[in-house]
Amino acid sequence: MAETSIWIEFIEQYPDLDFWVANNRTIGVAELRRLAVSATWQTRHRVAGKRRTRSGQVPCPPDLLEKLAHDPCDAVVHTVANNPGTPLATLQFLSRHRWDEVQTAAIRQLELFDQWVAALAGEVGSGQSFASGHLDEAGASLWSTESAVQEAITALDAATRVVADIGAQLVVGLALPLEMPLTIDVQAPDLRKLELIDEPPSIYVLSAGHFLLPSDREEYRCPIEHQPWGSGYHVEYVCGRSLKERELGWEFSRTIWVRKVDGAAAR
């Protein structure tokens, strides 16, 4: 496997051959970013199609997929619409694309997310007090500090709409996991500088009665009034652990909980 600097040096010296570099499954994010601005649409098309594989291929980062969604070549945009790592907000944008093939591909991926949320709601409807899933289960293939939080908020908006369309009297919440301390931490973080752990954010669907159930958790909980995502969200900081976790000497979980309070989000 060639070093990153060697690949980039090769691209810069032989730009007409960058398509062959794009076909290499061992290249990393730095090379993908360089190839995404290639003058050759076939090269940009190959970058847009990069997704995570069992062989360890590095997928196209979400922010790069967002940029390629505005590519002047419709074939590149169509590939973005088909990439399972494309952010929801980008898919929503592409669902209104001028080319119906792009629209169809984007809508198909959005519907897969809707089905995932509906399945969670179905679990609660069958008697559970709540159901949850990590957002990577819904198709996100790469999380980064820069994109994860906003993508998660977009997912919360979409999930809230799905549950509202179903008509179920359920609550939809978003859990943003933070570093876990050994002692309870009563200092709420700055939401503009959230540092998430490797675990992806999760969508929770809860019954209204869930909040009336007894709890053995020791926890600190406080609302956060000022947040960067606009009006219509209720945000809480929670740090705690269950009785069993305390007996085992486990760390406290720290989580930012978010839910919409102004009705369902429109696609």
Cβ distance 81 to 105 under 8 Å? yes
Task: Give 265: exposed, middle or buried? Use CB within 10 Å, 0-12, 13-18, 19+.
Answer: middle
Tokens 């970013």 belong to which residue?
33
| CA atoms lying within 13 Å on the CB side of residue 135 | 32
Q: What is the pLDDT of residue 139?
A: 63
What is the residue-wise DSSP string for the chain? ---HHHHHHHHHH-GGGHHHHHT-TT--HHHHHHHTT-S-HHHHHHHHT----TT-PPPPPHHHHHHHTT-S-HHHHHHHHH-TTS-HHHHHHHTT-SSHHHHHHHHHHHHHHHHHHHHHHHHHHTT-SEEEEEGGGGT-----HHHHHHHHHHHHHHHHHHHHHHT--EEEEEEEEE---SS----PPPGGG--B-SSPPEEEEEEGGGGGS----EEEEEE----TT-SSEEEEEEEEE-HHHHHTTPPPEEEEEEEESSSPPP-
Q: What is the pLDDT of residue 266?
A: 41
| CA atoms lying within 13 Å on the CB side of residue 44 | 22
Q: What is the pLDDT of residue 137?
A: 84
Residue in 167, 161, 175, 180 with CA at minimum distance from that of residue 130: 175
Q: What is the pLDDT of residue 3?
A: 57
Letter string b/e over residues 211-225, b meaning 16 or more CB atoms within 10 A of that residue's CB = eeeeeeeeeeeeebe
Give me the average pLDDT of each 10-residue run along the chain (267 residues).
75 94 92 96 98 84 94 98 93 97 97 96 90 83 62 94 91 96 95 86 93 90 91 95 95 96 54
In the numeric block, which tokens belong to residue 63?
């922010």
Cβ distance 112 to 138 under 8 Å? yes
Residue in 59, 89, 95 with CA at minimum distance from that of residue 77: 95
